[in-house]
Structure 1
Amino acid sequence: MTESLPAKHPNSSGIQRLAVLTSGGDAPGMNAAIRAVVRTASFEGLEVLGVRRGFSGLHRGEMKLLGPRDVANTIQRGGTILLTARSATWRTPEGRAAGARHLREQGVGGLIVIGGDGSFHGAHLLEQEHGIRVIGVPGTIDNDLYGTDHTIGYFTAVETALDAVDKLRDTGASHERIFVIEVMGRHAGHIALDVAVAGGAEEVFIPEDARPIGDVVQVVKDSVAKGKLGSIVIVAEGFPGGAQGVADAIQAGTGLETRVSILGHIQRGGTPVSSDRILASRLGEAAVYALMDGVSGVMVGRQGGNIIQTPLHETWEKRKDVNRDLYRCAKTLSV
C-alpha cells in the first residue's frame, strides 16, 4: 500500500522565495531548523536562500540557493551550517537598508530568523523600517524568550552541563571538596535550575532570585554536618558575583577547600539531543507555513505541545520566569 503525501499548504501570501539566517550565539538544533525550513519550502514548491553569517552577511548580500540535498546529513550536527555573527553594522539604519535592498533584489518575499532576543530586535526593525516580512524561530540555549516553553538548544545545553556536573561530583566526593559550577544564563536561570535538580546540587543561585551570597555558607556547613563528603553548588553566570563570588564566600565562611569550574561555551556545542531536533523541525516547518499564510512580525513557538505565534516585541518585553515549583523542589531535595 502506497502512503499518500500530505496535502499542500495554501499559499495565500503568494510568496515564491524566502530566506533564512541564523544569528547571535549558536545553539544545538539550529541546523535541524534550517533543514526543516529548506525541506518544507521545497515540498511546497518554494525556493530558499540561505544567508551566511547572519545579519552581518545579509547587509553584504551573502546569500545562496539551498535545496533539500544541501541540508542532507545536517540534522545531527551542532553549530550552524550558515554560520553566525553579531553585527554592529546591522544596528545602523544604513546597514538594515542594505539588507532590505539585497532581499528585494533577490525576489525574497519573507525572512526567517533563527536566534534569540537580539536577533529578533534586528528582525523587528527590518520589518518596521522596510516592510520585509519576518518570522522568528527561537534558537538560544538560555530558554529566556517569552512565547515558547523551550527554545532550540536548551535541552542539549542542560545535558552537556549535567554531564560535566556528574563528573565533577565524583572528583568532589573523592577529595572532599566543594565545587562551585557556573553555567550559562546571563539573564535567566533556566539551565542552572534544571541542572541543579537533575544533578542533586546542594544549592543553586539564579538571576531571578538575587539573594545574599552568604546564604550558601550555612547550607555547606549543614551538608558537612550530615556527613556529605563533597558539595555541588550551581550558579547561573548572570547571578551577581558569579561563581567566584560564591566560592569566595564559602572559603571565607567555612575554610573548606573550594574549586570553581566555569563551563562556558562548551554548553553551546555538540550533537543536539532528540528533543532539540524535534522542536527545531516543528518550528522550522511552522515558520514557512506562517509566511505562506501572510503572517509577519511573530515568533513561532511551542506551548503545551501546540505551535503558537507571539509578536516579536513581546518575546523580549514580557518576562519568562523560571519554574518556581522546580525552584522549591531544588531546595527541598537538597537536605
Structure 2
Amino acid sequence: MTKRIGILTSGGDCAGLNATIRAVALRARHGYGWTTVGLRSGTLGLLERPVEAVELDPDRLDAALARQGGTFLGSTNRGDPFAFPMPDGSKKDRSGEMVAGLKGLALDGLIGVGGDGSLDILRRLLAPSKVPFIGVPKTIDNDVANTERAIGYSTAVAVATEALDRLHPTGASHERVMVLEVMGRDAGHIAIAAGIAGAADVVLIPEVPWHLKVVVAHIDALRAAGRTSALVVVAEAAGQSDDPAEPDSDAPAHGVGDWLARRLSKATGAEARATVLGHVQRGAMPTAEDRLLAATFGVRAVDLLAEGKADRMVAWWNRQVIDVPLAKVVGRSRTVDKDGALVRTARALGICLGDKA
C-alpha cells in the first residue's frame, strides 16, 4: 500500500518554506513512491470540515516554487489548540477536534515546519494521535535549539544587510545617524550578523546589556574623528537601555528603533532617523543558502519517516544534516553567545555593542 504523509507550515512565514514543501514531496514520490498531502493554514486547517488539505503533485512543484517566498499552503501563528480563543473572549481546548481532523486524513506520518513554539505545540498535539511526527526548524530569528541554522535566517540577514547598504549613502549625504531596527523576538542573531556584514558602527542585542551613554559616547567619538554619519542596528528585543524614561520619547507606541533615534538625536545633536524593517525580512526570495537548507532538511525529514523514526527534528550541525530528539528542542532557545565568534569579531572591528566605552 502506498504511504501517505502530510506536511504543514506553522508560525510566522519566512523565505524557504516553499522549497521545503517541494523537497518533501519530491523525495517522498521519487524515493519511496509515497503520496504527500499538504495541510493548509497550519493547525487551523485541521478545524475545518472537511479538513483543508490538498494532495501534492511533484510534477507541478517546479523549480520556480523553490524561488518563491512565503508558503503556498498558508500558515498561522495564532490559535493555540490547547487554549483556543473563542468569539466570546474565552479559551477552549480544541486539540481533540484537530486530532480528529488529522486522523480523518489517514496519514502515515506528518512533517511540521516551524519554530520552537510551533514544534512544541505540534508535538503535544500529535502525541495522542500516534501519527509519527518529524519537525523541520524554520525561523528568521535562528533561535531554535540544537541546530546551527534554521530556514529563513539567511534570507533575513541578507535583507537586513542590504538595508544597511542602502542606509549608508543616504545617512552620509545628510549627516544623519541611521537606526535600523531588525527582528529578533528573543535573540540578536540577525542584528549581529547583519551589523558585521553591513559595516555598522553600533549593534545592540538583548544578549549584551547596553547603556545609552556608551552608544552616545561612541557616536560622539566618530564625529570628533571626522565622521558625519553613523549606522546603528538594534534588535527588536534589545530593550530601551537602563536610562530614565522620558515621557516625550518613551510612549508605548514607540518601538526600540524609534525610541533610540529620538534619544540619540537629543543626546548627540545629530539628526537621527529610524527604519523598521519588520515583515520585509520575511517575504523575500530565499537566498541560495536557505534553498539548500530547505532541500536537505526536507529530504532528511522524509528519510526519517522511512526509517520508522518519530518525535525528532532535523538539524544542521558542523556542516552536516543530523536529527535530534524534539525533547531537546522544545522549551529551549539558542541565543547569541556573548563570548562567541560573532561578538568577538564585532568588537575586533570596533563595532560598539553598548556595554563598553
Give the conservation status (yes or no) of the 8 Å contact 1:213–1:245. Answer: no
Give the conservation status (yes or no) of the 8 Å contact 1:34–1:284. Answer: yes
Give the conservation status (yes or no) of the 8 Å contact 1:188–1:238. Answer: yes
Task: Look up the SS of the partner of 2:94 in the other structure.
Answer: helix
Cα displacement (A) at 1:292: 1.4
Q: What RMSD over aligned residues (CA atoms) do the two structures have, in Å?
A: 1.7
Query: Does 1:331 pair with 2:347?
Result: yes
Q: Which has the larger displacement, 228-237 or 244-253? A: 244-253
Give the conservation status (yes or no) of the 8 Å contact 2:120–2:331. Answer: no
Task: Look up the SS of the partner of 2:274 in the other structure.
Answer: strand
Alignment match of 2:271 (pick from 241, 246, 257): 257
Give the conservation status (yes or no) of the 8 Å contact 1:51–1:63. Answer: yes
The equivalent residue for 1:56 is: 44
Q: Which has the larger displacement, 205-214 or 41-50? A: 205-214
Alpha-carbon distance in 2 for matches of 1:164, 1:267: 10
Alignment match of 1:86 (pick from 48, 52, 77): 77
Alignment match of 2:12 (pick from 10, 19, 25): 25
Alpha-carbon distance in 2 for matches of 1:261, 1:120: 32
Give the conservation status (yes or no) of the 8 Å contact 2:2–2:35. Answer: no
The equivalent residue for 1:282 is: 296
Gapped regions of structure 2 (runs ≥ 5)? 84-91, 241-255, 352-357
Cα displacement (A) at 1:316: 3.7
Alpha-carbon distance in 2 for matches of 1:119, 1:89: 9
Give the conservation status (yes or no) of the 8 Å contact 1:30–1:152. Answer: yes
Gapped regions of structure 1 (runs ≥ 5)? 1-13
Q: Which has the larger displacement, 165-174 or 305-314? A: 305-314
Question: Relative to structure 1, is the Cα distance of residues 269 and 31 closer, same or farther in structure 2, using a 3 angstrom cutoff?
Answer: same
Task: Look up the SS of the partner of 2:212 in the other structure.
Answer: coil
Amino acid at match of 1:332: A
Q: Which has the larger displacement, 296-305 or 172-181? A: 296-305
Give the conservation status (yes or no) of the 8 Å contact 1:113–1:123. Answer: yes
TM-score of the superposed pair, with normalisation by structure 1: 0.92
The equivalent residue for 2:332 is: 318
Amino acid at match of 1:37: V
Greater than 4 Å deviation, 4+ residue runs: none
- Quote the sequence identity (%): 38
Query: Does 1:77 pair with 2:79?
Result: no
Alpha-carbon distance in 2 for matches of 1:151, 1:205: 22
The equivalent residue for 1:182 is: 181
Amino acid at match of 1:102: G
The equivalent residue for 1:96 is: 95
Aligned length: 322
Give the conservation status (yes or no) of the 8 Å contact 1:100–1:132. Answer: no
Give the conservation status (yes or no) of the 8 Å contact 1:201–1:334. Answer: no
